[in-house]
């Protein structure tokens, strides 16, 4: 009968300790009114308590710091700091000690002593290996695995809006929610656009010649609170003229979020490339370049349109203008616009008037490609406010 030899105990003990900053000590104030039975006893005890703030004893937050009482949570984007302790629990002398630490995720393994690569994962293991030589010259080796669960600190949701009257403008709304149990100071939330777009942040207003954040001077985000950020993206000039390229663009850019928590501990996250559903313009796109907001009743007003050939073939276009019950076009319907090459654009100035007051919709344009005998209809292109001619319209 074969007997396995007893497993040899190691002389060294390995521990991983987390390095975290202390937190401000909190206490629960107990107070009462002077007419109550304890009188001023509770208030005096709080004044004598060294952990309270002088003159503000009823505040839960004190001036003292307290050391962490547990391992705490690890959040994605924050720095995880720890130290590895190797202790000789035996009565023997141990020499040639070598400690190696690796960070292992589901897709990669990094040597912590030789790599500065960023790791983005919701679960990782710290692999610590120790080799040493005993007093008798025997070489020993052992490993330990420490598995950590990484939590999400933020919930990020995005929405895209295509501008109705513009040249391929895209608006991005980013909703950022703090899903931790502590307040956050939002240091930066920016959008890094893709190569085809330039971005304008719409999260500040002008006051006395200075840009002031719409969220105020204190950009704190309380637990479970949500904040909305807005950005406007415009195609760069070299790409805006190529309608076929912009038509198929779905990658907009990525969000860069930087925050601070207790005692200035910084965290940073970058989203993956944000993608949107590209709008379907069809073969021919009609967009408005200029239109007045308010016009007078039964008085002609002018609009400027741009027609873009989004197909891969040349078109021969004819413009028809169909009146509605409230909006009437001025000019000749059925006129030839000529040939339009692929990805080319054509500017068009049109005149119309409204016979009804109120908010009226501009509709009734028809473009016909004589090559394929195909007609493209454009209704509800824009809206204008029609007022009585007795009311002065500001230009």
How far from each other are the two terminal CA atoms of the chain, in whole angstroms?
Answer: 104
What are the structure tokens assigned to 75, written together?
């959040």
Instruction: Say how far residue 386 (Cα) sits from the centre of its chain.
Output: 40
CA 310 to chain centroid: 31
Structure tokens at 19: 């390095």
154-277 and 284-387 agree in CATH topology:
yes
Chain-centre distance of CA 65, in angstroms?
Answer: 34
Task: Please give the average pLDDT of every successive group of 10 residues along the chain, which has 395 residues.
Answer: 59 84 73 72 75 68 72 82 84 87 82 56 76 87 86 91 67 92 89 89 84 79 92 81 58 91 86 76 82 91 90 91 92 90 89 92 91 88 85 54
Closest CA to 327 of 377, 376, 385: 385
Between strands 204-207 and 251-260, the pairing is unpaired
Q: Looking at residue 331, what DSSP letter applies?
A: S
125: which DSSP letter? E
State residue 279's pLDDT score. 61
Strand order in the sheet with 315-321: 335-340, 315-321, 365-369, 374-378
Q: How many other C-beta atoms can be found within 10 angstroms of the C-beta atom of residue 243?
A: 23
| Superfamily of structural domain 284-387 | Immunoglobulins (2.60.40.10)
CB atoms within 10 A of CB 168: 22
Does the model's pTM come out above 0.85? no
State the CATH architecture for 154-277.
Answer: Sandwich (2.60)
**Exposure letters 42-57 (e unless 16+ CB within 10 A, then b):** ebeebeeeeebeeeeb
C-alpha separations of 258 from 105, 180, 224, 268, 292 in Å = 24, 15, 17, 4, 41
Determine the pLDDT at residue 155. Answer: 93
Starting at the edge strand that comes first in sequence, how are the strands of the sheet with 382-387 ordered?
294-296, 382-387, 358-362
Which residue ranges make up each domain of the chain?
Answer: 12-20+69-151, 27-61, 154-277, 284-387
What pLDDT is recorded for position 164? 58
Query: Are 291 and 384 within 8 A, CB to CB?
Result: yes
């Amino acid at each position: 009968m074969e007997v396995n030899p007893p497993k040899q105990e190691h002389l060294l003990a390995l521990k991983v300790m987390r390095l975290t900053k202390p937190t401000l000590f909190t206490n629960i104030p107990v107070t009462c009114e002077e007419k109550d039975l304890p009188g001023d006893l509770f208030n005096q005890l709080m004044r004598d308590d060294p952990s309270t703030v002088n003159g503000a004893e009823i505040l839960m937050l004190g001036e003292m710091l307290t050391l962490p009482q547990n391992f705490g949570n690890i959040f994605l984007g924050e720095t995880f700091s720890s130290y590895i302790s190797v202790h000789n629990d035996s009565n023997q002398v141990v020499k040639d000690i070598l400690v190696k630490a690796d960070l292992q995720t589901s897709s990669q393994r990094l040597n912590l002593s030789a790599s500065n690569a960023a790791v983005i994962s919701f679960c990782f293991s710290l692999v610590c290996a120790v080799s040493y030589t005993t007093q008798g010259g025997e070489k020993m080796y052992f490993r330990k695995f420490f598995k950590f669960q990484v939590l999400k600190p933020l919930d990020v949701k995005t929405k895209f809006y295509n501008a109705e009257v513009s040249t391929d403008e895209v608006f991005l709304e980013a909703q950022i929610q703090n899903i931790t149990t502590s307040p956050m100071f939002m240091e930066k939330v920016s959008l890094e656009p893709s190569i085809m777009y330039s971005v304008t942040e719409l999260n500040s207003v002008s006051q006395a010649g200075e840009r002031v954040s719409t969220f105020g001077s204190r950009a704190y985000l309380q637990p479970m609170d949500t904040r909305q950020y807005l950005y406007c993206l415009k195609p760069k000039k070299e790409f805006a003229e190529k309608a076929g390229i912009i038509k198929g663009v779905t990658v907009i850019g990525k969000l860069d979020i930087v925050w601070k928590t207790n005692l200035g501990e910084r965290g940073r996250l970058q989203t993956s490339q944000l993608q949107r559903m590209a709008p379907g313009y069809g073969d021919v796109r009609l967009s408005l370049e200029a239109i007045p907001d308010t016009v007078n009743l039964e008085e002609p007003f002018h609009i400027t349109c741009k027609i873009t050939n989004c197909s891969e073939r040349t078109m021969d276009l004819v413009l028809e203008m169909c009146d509605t019950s409230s909006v009437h076009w001025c000019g000749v319907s059925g006129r030839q616009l000529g040939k339009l090459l692929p990805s080319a654009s054509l500017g068009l100035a049109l005149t119309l008037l409204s016979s009804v007051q109120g908010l009226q919709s501009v509709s009734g344009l028809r473009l016909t490609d004589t090559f394929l005998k195909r007609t493209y209809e454009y209704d509800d292109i824009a809206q204008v406010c029609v007022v009585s001619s007795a009311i002065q319209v500001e230009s």
